[in-house]
């Protein structure tokens, strides 16, 4: 009973501190939004985030070889990591925006601009959480790593592959700060990028019967893929697997010739139980006899630091059981802080968790400010109330962990 009263008093202090830093958190996010940061171009915004962590009193702040900003509080053997990626997609059609996407305007209870939801809001919030922990004299036997990660929009989880394999850091638990509408998320579908190449035989366009048109092969395959999408596996929690064609490219000696080459790019979303091998085999079965090949693509690009790094573009499905200790702990923290029960849910899109949990099996939960429907959309904005609540949650979770 004494311990519960003590924690209740502590959580009250955390909530008050988060509210006290409402304007501070919003302004930090505004400053991050003003620095455009596409994948592989995050260098300038990382320096801003690094300084924010340093000013908040973190024990250590550094930038690793891939360009992730890693802040640390504490020195315990157990490691809690809080992750948020700092790269964003581009601005898109500016005519669809009602405000400057790089303005970082704070107005009517929102911070406006590209990345407020996906996904600079999370890092701005965890800076405040770190500041609160330092002010409260956090002294648990725990190391908390606050990671402003890179290149997520280009390659989900590549940043964490680097942290785990090259830095040798494997946390005991990770919180992803991707937008969850302040719900607790415990999984999402995986994905895989597949390419199909079709070979044909060119002939003069005036006598197409002399050739073998690669575009026709690709078109027949496309109709089969459309049908495949209707019949993929279903999971009660994660939903149905899906596949769509996101690009088709062709070539021929001229516009007066039969196409001798075509290529299809597939975005395949994997529900629970669907694997890379299954997804590839399904496509191979569809193109038998078409003189076509299937391959899973690789990603290998140069980070803003100059380091070239990569991985296969297979991002495994993941989920935690609803009664997993991490989910239960997050539920307890949420209920104690906000006096209501959280919604336990999942993301529709993919996140760094495909690597953290999907490949390396590290327990992972999601909790972040903002609504994912605004990710990659015009007029992206995040409620300041969400920023306040999330900063309290991260600080409180550190005490409970």
What's residue 7's pLDDT? 83
* Domain match, 159 and 24 both: yes
Res 199: pLDDT = 98
Q: What is the largest CA-CA distance in the chain?
A: 89
In three-state secondary structure terms, 131 is helix
Buried b (16+ CB within 10 A) or exposed e, 147-158: bbbbbbbbbbbb
Tell me, yes or no, whether 52 lies in a domain. yes
Same domain? 157 vs 196: no
Domain count, the chain: 2
308 bridge partner residues: 302
pLDDT at 4: 63
Q: What angle do CA 173, 384, 47 make, to 5 degrees?
A: 65
CATH number of residue 135's parent domain: 3.40.630.10
Please report, for residues 238, 241, 281, the alpha-carbon distance to residue 233 in angstroms, rounded to integers and kept in the order given. 10, 6, 14
Q: Which of 302, 334, 354 is the last residue of a domain?
A: 302
Give the residue numbers annotated as catalytic, written as ranges: 87, 152
Q: The dihedral of CA 71, 130, 147, 107: what is its sign?
A: negative
Shared-domain flag, residues 43 and 95: yes
Q: Are residues 124 and 93 in the same domain?
A: yes
Three-state DSSP at 115 gives: coil
User: Does residue 174 lie within any of the structural domains?
Assistant: yes
C-alpha 398/C-alpha 64 separation (Å) is 23
Whole-angstrom distance, CA of residue 275 vs CA of residue 266? 15
The model carries a pTM of 0.95
Indicate if 178 and 202 belong to the same structural domain: no
Question: Among 252, 277, 302, where does a domain finish?
Answer: 302
Is 164 in the same domain as 21?
A: yes
**What tokens does 208 get?**
């197409």
Q: For all residues of the chain together, what is the average pLDDT?
A: 97
Domain residue limits at 210 = 190-302
My answer on whether 178 and 324 are in the same domain is: yes
Look up residue 244 and give its two tokens. 């769509």
Which tens digits make up the pLDDT trace of 243-286?
A: 999 999 999 999 999 999 999 999 999 999 999 999 999 999 99
Domain-ending residue, one of 302, 337, 366: 302
Query: Within 10 A of 141 (CB to CB), how many other CB atoms are there?
Result: 9
Q: Label residues 249-285 b or e (16+ Cβ within 10 Å = b).
A: ebebeeeebbbbbbbbebebbbbbebebeebbebbee
For residue 190, which of 235, 123, 245, 226 has the smallest C-alpha distance? 235
Mapping DSSP onto H, E and C, the string for 250-315 reads: EECCCCCECCCEEEEEEEEEECCCCCHHHHHHHHHHHCCCCCEEEEECEEEEECCCCCEEEEECEE
Same domain flag for 152 and 34 = yes
**Residue 195 pLDDT > 90, yes or no?**
yes
> Is 184 in the same domain as 52?
yes
Reported as a pLDDT band with limits 50, 70 and 90, residue 2 is very low
Residues 123 and 28 in one domain: yes
pLDDT over 60 (residue 48): yes
Res 6: pLDDT: 77
pLDDT at residue 1, as a whole number = 40
If you average pLDDT over residues 226-250, what whole number do you get? 98
Shared domain check, 298 and 357: no
What per-residue confidence (pLDDT) applies to 3? 65
The burial class, CB within 10 Å (0-12 / 13-18 / 19+), for 118 is buried
- Residues 121 and 247 both lie in one domain: no
Share of the chain above pLDDT 90, in %: 98
């Amino acid at each position: 009973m004494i311990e519960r009263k003590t924690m209740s008093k502590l959580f009250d202090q955390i909530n008050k501190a988060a509210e006290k830093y409402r304007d501070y958190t919003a302004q930090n996010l505004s400053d991050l939004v003003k620095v455009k940061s596409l994948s592989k171009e995050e260098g300038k915004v990382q320096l801003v985030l690094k300084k924010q962590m340093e000013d908040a009193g973190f024990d250590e702040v550094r930038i690793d070889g891939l360009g992730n900003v890693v802040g640390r509080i504490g020195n315990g053997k157990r490691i809690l990591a809080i992750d948020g990626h700092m790269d964003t997609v581009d601005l898109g059609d500016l005519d669809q925006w009602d405000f400057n996407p790089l303005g970082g305007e704070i107005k009517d209870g929102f911070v406006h601009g590209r990345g407020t939801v996906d996904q600079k809001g999370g890092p701005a919030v965890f800076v405040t959480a770190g500041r609160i922990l330092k002010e409260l004299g956090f002294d648990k036997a725990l190391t908390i790593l606050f990671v402003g990660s890179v290149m997520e929009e280009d390659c989900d989880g590549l940043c964490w592959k680097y942290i785990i394999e090259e830095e040798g850091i494997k946390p005991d638990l990770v919180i992803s700060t991707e937008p969850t509408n302040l719900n607790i998320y415990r999984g999402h579908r995986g994905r895989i990028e597949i390419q199909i190449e079709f070979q044909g035989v060119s002939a003069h366009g005036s006598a197409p019967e002399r050739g073998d048109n690669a575009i026709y092969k690709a078109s027949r395959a496309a109709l089969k893929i459309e049908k495949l999408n209707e019949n993929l596996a279903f999971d009660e929690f994660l939903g149905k697997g899906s596949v769509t064609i996101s690009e088709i490219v062709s070539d021929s000696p001229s516009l007066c010739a039969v196409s001798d080459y075509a290529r299809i790019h597939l975005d395949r979303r994997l529900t629970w139980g669907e694997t890379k091998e299954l997804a590839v085999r399904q496509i191979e079965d569809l193109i038998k006899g078409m003189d076509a090949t299937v391959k899973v693509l690789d990603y290998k690009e140069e980070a803003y630091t100059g380091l070239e790094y990569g991985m296969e573009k297979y991002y495994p499905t993941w989920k935690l059981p609803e009664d997993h200790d991490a989910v239960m702990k997050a539920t307890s923290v949420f209920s104690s802080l906000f006096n209501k029960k959280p919604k336990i849910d999942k993301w529709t899109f993919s996140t760094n968790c495909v690597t953290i949990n999907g490949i390396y099996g590290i327990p992972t939960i999601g909790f972040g400010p903002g609504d994912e429907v605004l990710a990659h959309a015009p007029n992206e904005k995040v409620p300041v109330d969400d920023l306040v609540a999330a900063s309290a949650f991260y600080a409180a979770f550190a005490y409970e962990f």
